[in-house]
Amino acid sequence: MNQNEPAISLTGIGKHYGDFEALKPTSLDIMPGEFFGFLGPNGAGKTTMIRIITGIIIPTCGSVRISGHDVAKDPDAAKRRIGYIPDRPYLYEKLTPLEYFEFVAGLYTLTDDLWKQRSEELLKLFKLWEWRNELIESFSHGMKQKVAMCSAFLHDPDIIIVDEPMVGLDPKSVRLVKDIFKEQVKKGKTIFLTTHTLSVAQDLCSRIGIINRGSVIALGTLEALRIQSGSDTSDLESVFLKLTEEEAEEAMSHHPTPA
């Protein structure tokens, strides 16, 4: 991967649903090796953004480049570089984890030896090895989330896109996942993460973007955000609340609620 080229480059991407503007035109570059946190209140446009980056949904305007490959024009090359962990781990319930990994490996054209070796490593890492031959339908939410994570790491992607990774995980698993993410970034991988657990973002992310009502309202390191918000503390929660509340007040002043 070219270290001077952004791992993820968004140029003016936006998304409309009829008259509703879910995501206003946004441009953003994320460099290789960066751990980027994307925060925002419910319905702010985080998941829309993530799905556009992964090529799951098509933006109304703008373009996305993954390591220089346009997601719309060269989806094959772009998607091969991404591992996606969705917010809700919907999986093929009638498959076992190993069968599911074989399925995913086939979609990414991994060799038999490679996916088998990677599956074993990942299942052992996520403490799922003894469940490898059980149907996914019998798993708890947390176990399914771990299977989804394993499948995202299976093809050893350069970029990992994570939507709310900690939902449904027990504290031990949260610690494990955090350690795995840190390890990945050390190896030079790029992580784009959205979360409502602000402490996770504060612990892990080197740069943070805050989105509200479809617009990126703040972008930078935690310190830069603190300065922007005028907050006295370096606590991300205070910074986040201050920024989103200010933005909401500003929006209200432009569009007052009818009496």
Residues that bind other proteins (CB under 8 A): 51, 54-58, 75-77, 79-80, 82, 84, 86, 88, 90-95, 99, 102-110, 135, 137-138, 151
Q: Which is nearer to other proteins, 104 or 216 (CB)?
A: 104
Cβ 192 vs Cβ 159: under 8 Å = yes
Minimum gap (Å) between residue 106 Cβ and other proteins:
3
Minimum gap (Å) between residue 225 Cβ and other proteins:
30
Distances (CA, A) of 19 to 22, 196, 199: 9, 27, 35
Minimum gap (Å) between residue 136 Cβ and other proteins:
9
Neighbours of 67 (CB within 10 A): 20
Minimum gap (Å) between residue 192 Cβ and other proteins:
13
Name residues whose C-beta falls within 8 Å of residue 160's C-beta, 6 or more positions apart in sequence. 82, 83, 84, 85, 152, 153, 181, 184, 189, 190, 191, 192
Cβ 58 vs Cβ 72: under 8 Å = yes
Q: Which is nearer to other proteins, 36 or 84 (CB)?
A: 84
Minimum gap (Å) between residue 254 Cβ and other proteins:
29
Q: Which is nearer to other proteins, 54 or 231 (CB)?
A: 54
Minimum gap (Å) between residue 103 Cβ and other proteins:
5
Strand order in the sheet with 61-66: 20-30, 8-17, 61-66, 69-70
Q: Which is nearer to other proteins, 3 or 109 (CB)?
A: 109
Q: Which is nearer to other proteins, 93 or 250 (CB)?
A: 93
Q: Which is nearer to other proteins, 23 or 208 (CB)?
A: 23
Q: Which is nearer to other proteins, 152 or 205 (CB)?
A: 152
Minimum gap (Å) between residue 175 Cβ and other proteins:
26
